[in-house]
C-alpha cells in the first residue's frame, strides 16, 4: 500500500476582529479549488468542553483566566486527538481558526504566565505554520462594532496584541499586516504558504 503523506497544519491567530475567520475560510476554499484535500476547523470547538467554554465566554463576566486556560487546553486535547491528528494522518491539510497560540496570547498574556500556559498545552504538537494577523485594537473594535465579547476592551486587546508580537519576535508566528483590504491580506497569506509548502495555490 502506498504511504499517505501527512498533511500540513496551519493555524490563524489574531485579536478579535482581525479577520481570522474570513481569511481562513477563504484560504480553505482556495485549497479546495486547487484540488488539495483540506479541512477547516475552529477553537473553541463545538465538542463537550468547547461548548462549555462558549457558554462561559458569552454569559459570564469575570471568569478567572486560569480556569479558562484549563478549559481551552482540555478542549484542544480532545480536538487534536479526535479530529486534527486524524485528518493530518489521512493527508488533509488542516486550517485551524485559533490554536495553541491563542491560549498563549490571551490567557498567557493576561495572566502574565506564558510558561504555565505553554506547559498545560504541551500534550498537543504546535502547528507546522502559525500565521498572525496583526491589526490595531482600535481598528479591530471598529470592525466588530456590533458584536461584544469578553475581550472587547482596548487595554486587554493591547496586552494580547503585545504578547502575539513577542511570539512574532521569537519566530513562532509569521506576521501579516491585517489592516490592508481582505484580498491583499489573502494574497499575502497565500504567498507565505506557497513558499512554505512548495505548492501551486
Interface positions with ligand TYD (CB under 6 A): 16, 20-21, 43-44, 57, 72, 98, 102-103, 106-107, 149, 151
Percentages helix, strand, coil for the chain (3-state, rounded to 5) are 55, 10, 35
Q: Smallest distance, Å, CB 73 to ligand TYD?
A: 8
Nearest residue (CB) to ligand TYD, 48 versus 90:
48
Q: Smallest distance, Å, CB 149 to ligand TYD?
A: 5
Q: Smallest distance, Å, CB 91 to ligand TYD?
A: 25
Cell 494574497 belongs to which residue? 187
Distance CA 105, CA 99 (A): 11
Nearest residue (CB) to ligand TYD, 139 versus 194:
139
Nearest residue (CB) to ligand TYD, 126 versus 201:
126
Q: Smallest distance, Å, CB 21 to ligand TYD?
A: 5
Grid coordinates of 156: 486587554
Distance CA 164, CA 130 (A): 11
What does R_g of the chain's alpha carbons equal in angstroms? 16
Nearest residue (CB) to ligand TYD, 74 versus 168:
74
By beta carbon distance, the residue nearest ligand TYD is 106
Q: Assess contact for 24 and 141: CB atoms under 8 A.
A: no
Q: Give counts: helices (H), strands (E), the chain.
A: 10, 5
Q: Smallest distance, Å, CB 57 to ligand TYD?
A: 5
Distance CA 2, CA 137 (A): 49
Nearest residue (CB) to ligand TYD, 4 versus 67:
67
Amino acid at each position: 500500500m502506498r504511504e499517505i503523506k501527512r498533511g500540513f497544519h496551519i493555524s490563524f491567530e489574531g485579536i478579535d476582529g482581525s479577520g481570522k475567520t474570513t481569511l481562513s475560510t477563504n484560504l480553505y476554499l482556495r485549497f479546495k479549488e486547487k484540488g488539495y484535500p483540506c479541512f477547516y476547523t475552529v477553537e473553541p470547538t463545538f465538542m463537550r468542553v468547547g461548548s462549555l467554554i462558549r457558554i462561559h465566554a458569552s454569559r459570564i463576566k469575570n471568569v478567572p483566566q486560569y480556569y479558562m486556560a484549563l478549559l481551552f487546553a482540555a478542549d484542544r486535547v480532545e480536538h487534536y486527538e479526535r479530529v486534527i491528528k486524524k485528518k493530518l494522518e489521512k493527508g488533509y491539510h488542516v486550517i485551524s481558526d485559533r490554536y495553541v497560540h491563542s491560549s498563549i496570547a490571551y490567557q498567557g498574556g493576561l495572566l502574565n504566565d506564558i510558561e504555565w500556559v505553554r506547559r498545560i498545552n504541551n500534550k498537543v504538537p504546535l502547528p507546522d505554520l502559525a500565521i498572525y494577523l496583526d491589526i490595531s485594537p482600535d481598528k479591530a473594535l471598529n470592525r466588530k462594532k456590533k458584536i461584544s465579547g469578553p475581550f472587547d476592551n482596548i487595554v486587554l486587546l493591547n496586552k494580547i496584541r503585545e504578547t502575539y508580537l513577542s511570539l512574532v519576535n521569537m519566530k513562532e508566528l509569521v506576521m501579516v499586516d491585517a489592516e490592508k483590504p481582505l484580498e491583499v491580506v489573502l494574497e499575502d497569506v497565500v504567498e507565505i504558504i506557497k513558499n512554505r509548502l512548495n505548492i501551486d495555490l
